[in-house]
Amino acid sequence: MSRRAEIVISLFDRTGNMVAPWAAAGYHCYCVDLQHPVGETRHGNITFVGADVREWLPPFAAVKILFAFPPCTDVAASGARWFRDKGIGSLIRALQLFEASVRLAEWTRAPYLIENPVSTVATYWRKPDHIFDPCDFGGYLMPAGDAYTKRTCLWTGNGFVMPPPKRIAPTEGSRMHRLAPTTERANLRSATPKGFAQAVFEANHHNELAFSA
């Protein structure tokens, strides 16, 4: 059972990797993603919510921290050459999902991070606050893991503390590019690295800078 008054919110989160350390520490966590069964399904301290983030309202509770991983396929710089074919509508929809993340994050007044790959959001909105590779935080895992590179940007706010790196050698290189083109490929590619999740927990769970005003 959760034993903390504050909740943790993770938007566009299918795996729950990001909230796992918070759930283990007793926080009730909400992971919202269209791929979850419609409605709410509770597993221990994690409630998986099958809903569209644009229509979801958080429960009435103080928020400890918020994470968001909006889909990036239509804003990633790596796919820029497809923008013309996909049309401006897909670009608008992708930015709307990013904007929904910013709106909910600011509304909670809690520390937050919004994650995206190197993307055109940096041009349309503002430059990211941090950039990392999963291997930068591989040393937080026991045994060490996430020995791969995948350039990842973070937009952060409300007192979010970026953890210090514990870098390991990226012996797997850019393993994400080598994944077979299966239907699960997108999910595998976008799964939150567990070392990074652990690092963020360690840097922020004692952080009492969350707004009280």
Ligand X SMILES: C[S@@+](CC[C@H](N)C(=O)[O-])C[C@H]1O[C@@H](n2cnc3c(N)ncnc32)[C@H](O)[C@@H]1O
**List 52, 78, 177, 179, residue binding ligand X (CB under 6 A):** 52
CB 193 within 8 A of CB 137: yes
Please, which residue, 192 or 204, has the CB nearer to ligand X?
192
Using the contact rule CB under 6 A, the part of the chain among 10-18, 84-92, 167-175, 203-211 near ligand X is 10-18
Amino acid letter, residue 147: A
Q: Which residues contact 200 (CB under 8 A, 6 or more apart)?
A: 18, 113, 163
Would you call 132 helix, strand, or coil by DSSP? strand
Run of H or E including 11 = strand 7-11
Using the contact rule CB under 6 A, the part of the chain among 31-39, 77-85, 103-111, 136-144 near ligand X is 31-39
CA distance 204 to 178: 33
- The mark string for 136-175 relative to ligand X (x by CB under 6 A, - otherwise) is ----------------------------------------
CA distance 77 to 54: 24
CB 128 within 8 A of CB 157: no
Please, which residue, 80 or 186, has the CB nearer to ligand X?
186
Would you call 85 helix, strand, or coil by DSSP? helix
Q: Is 69 in the site for ligand X (CB under 6 A)?
A: yes
**List 71, 79, 159, 165, residue binding ligand X (CB under 6 A):** 71
Q: Which residue has tokens 């699960």?
A: 184
What's the residue count for the chain? 213
Amino acid letter, residue 65: I
Cis? peptide before 181, omega within 30° of 0: no
Q: Is 30 in the site for ligand X (CB under 6 A)?
A: no
Please, which residue, 24 or 209, has the CB nearer to ligand X?
24
> Nearest distance from residue 12's CB to ligand X, in Å?
3
> Nearest distance from residue 212's CB to ligand X, in Å?
30
Using the contact rule CB under 6 A, the part of the chain among 28-36, 123-131, 154-162, 198-206 near ligand X is 28-36
**List 34, 80, 92, 209, residue binding ligand X (CB under 6 A):** 34
Q: Which residues bind ligand X (CB under 6 A)?
A: 12-15, 17, 32-35, 52-54, 69, 71-72, 97, 190-192
